[in-house]
Copies of this chain bind each other. A is one copy, B any other.
Amino acid sequence: MTDRLLIRPATAEDAAAIWSIIAPIIRAGETYTLDRALSEADALAYWLGSDRETFVAEEDGRILGTYYLRANQAGGGAHVANCGYMTDMRATGRGIARRMAEHSLEQARARGFRAMQFNFVVSTNERAIRLWQSLGFDIVGRLPRAFHHPSQGDVDALVMFRML
């Protein structure tokens, strides 16, 4: 299925489709440190912010995933990239996140980034952790009880990192 997946830069016309993917994930509040009540306008302003490039993963004209790529820091930290990925909850388990992650690593290299960092991987998000590890990311930090999970209470968050 995913060999029909096209990953391309997002345009303003994709906003509604992006919102349909990110809204349930933001509302669930289990994986991202975003306000669960974030409005559509604020969420899209964040996801499509001018400080980042945003992509969508499309299959037969249907958008199934989206990610952004940005510098994790400015100044002396600007050679390290950061990304956030969200897959349509109805399309998980099909390798779309992996495809987006591989795409993002290529895009980051092409832009001259020399490493990629995920600042806050919720430790209960085991599928994501396994995926990042399979793509060469190491756990370089553990933030004790830094995430309040809506059903599991305070849990650790991980910092993950890989050179490019």
Contact = CB atoms under 8 A, between A and B. Distances in A.
Main secondary structure of the interface of A (DSSP, over half): strand
A114 B157 CA distance: 15
B144 A159 contact: no
- Chain A interface size, under 10 / 10 to 19 / 20 to 34 / 35 or more: 35 or more
Contact of A74 (B35, B76, B115, B122): B35
B119 A119 contact: yes
Contacts of A73: 33, 120, 146
A80 to B, nearest CB: 5
A74 B33 CA distance: 5
B29 A75 contact: yes
A94 B26 CA distance: 46
A95 to B, nearest CB: 27
A77 interface: yes
A115 B76 CA distance: 26
A53 to B, nearest CB: 19
